[in-house]
Structure 1
């Protein structure tokens, strides 16, 4: 598995989302996902939305995924 494939899966599963995925060993990854769909949702719900885009890859080809899930407004405030 590679970071670019994960990025594409997340972005296609969450239309309008932007994902930045890092990971060099092929099984451990970090991702920052920015999506309007996260507005009003708690962190656990946001993470579940991202995990849903990856399906059976989680716990298989993707051993670990550290997530930062934010709305566009939150991303702008962090700059």
Structure 2
């Protein structure tokens, strides 16, 4: 059964405080391949690996139903810095 973006968004927002979230279905709508950009204060002080493990654990049921899943995780300060670089 394919995962839809709304279910994915709800699962994420239920588990951690979200400052910014982008969910992209990269499978042309069939729900088998998602990429997310997730910004949360919950990532403060955590390594990238720890952040990814945290997200993988909270979405383990959904990820098990997908063909592919990729994520980029940032703290609010990191994301603001990234946005500033992109706009300059």
What band does the TM-score fall into relative to the shorter chain? 0.7 to 0.9
> Residue 64 of structure 1: which of 39, 46, 68 is its match?
68
Higher alpha-carbon Rg? 2
Conservation of the 8 A alpha-carbon contact between 2:8 and 2:62: no
> Residue 73 of structure 1: which of 49, 52, 77 is its match?
77
> Residue 19 of structure 1: which of 18, 21, 26 is its match?
21
> Residue 37 of structure 1: which of 35, 42, 45 is its match?
42
Q: Is the aligned partner of 1:28 residue 2:33?
A: yes
Backbone CA RMSD of aligned residues: 1.3
Per the TM alignment, residue 56 of structure 1 is displaced from its structure 2 partner at its CA by 2.1
CA distance in structure 2 between the partners assigned to 1:20 and 1:68 by the alignment = 10
Gap runs ≥5 in structure 1: none
